Amino acid sequence: MSYESEIKDKTGKDSFRNDRLNIPVLKYFWQASPLSGTRSKGVHNFLRKVSVLDNFTDYELRRFSKFLHLRNFHPGEKVFLEGSGGFGFYLIYSGNVDIKSGVSTGGEDQLITTLGEGEYFGELALLEERSVRNATAQAKNQVTLLAFFKPDLDELTERYPVVASKLLRSVSLIVSRRFKAVASELKMLKEKLKVVESGSKQEAK
Partner 1 sequence: MDQSKKLNNRLLKNIFFFTITATMAVVLFALPRIFIPFGIAYILSLMVRPLVNVFYSSNIQKKTFAVLLTVLFIFAFIYPVVSGVSSIGEEAHKLEFYLPRAESYLRQQYLEFKDMVFQRLNYEIKMNPVDELVRIGQEYTQSLFVYLPKLLGSLLEWGLIIPLFLIFILKDGRKLRFSYIKIIPNHMVEKTYYFFHQFNTKFGDYIFAKFVEAAIVGTVITTGLLIIEFPFALLLGLFAAITNILPYIGPLLGFVPALIVGLVDQSPALGQMTLLYLIANIIDLALVFPILVSKIVNLHPLVVVVSVILGSQVAGIVGMIVSIPLAAFLKLFFVEIYNELYANPTLK
Q: Under the rule (CB under 8 A), what is the footprint of partner 1?
A: 69, 71, 73-74, 76-88, 102-103, 107, 130, 132, 134, 147, 149-151, 154, 158-161
Closer by beta carbon to partner 1, 50 or else 153? 153
Q: By C-alpha distance, which of 122, 156, 157 is closest to 136?
A: 122
CB of 132 vs partner 1, minimal distance in Å: 6
Distance of closest approach, residue 164 Cβ to partner 1, in angstroms:
11
Angstrom distance (rounded) from CA 16 to CA 3: 13
Cβ at position 74, least distance to partner 1 in Å: 5
Distance in Å, CB of 126 to partner 1, minimum: 12
Please name the amino acid found at residue 158. Answer: E
Determine the Cα–Cα distance for residues 173 and 66; give it in Å rounded to an integer.
22
If the CB atoms of residues 59 and 179 are measured against partner 1, the closer one turns out to be 59
CB 126, CB 148: distance < 8 Å:
yes
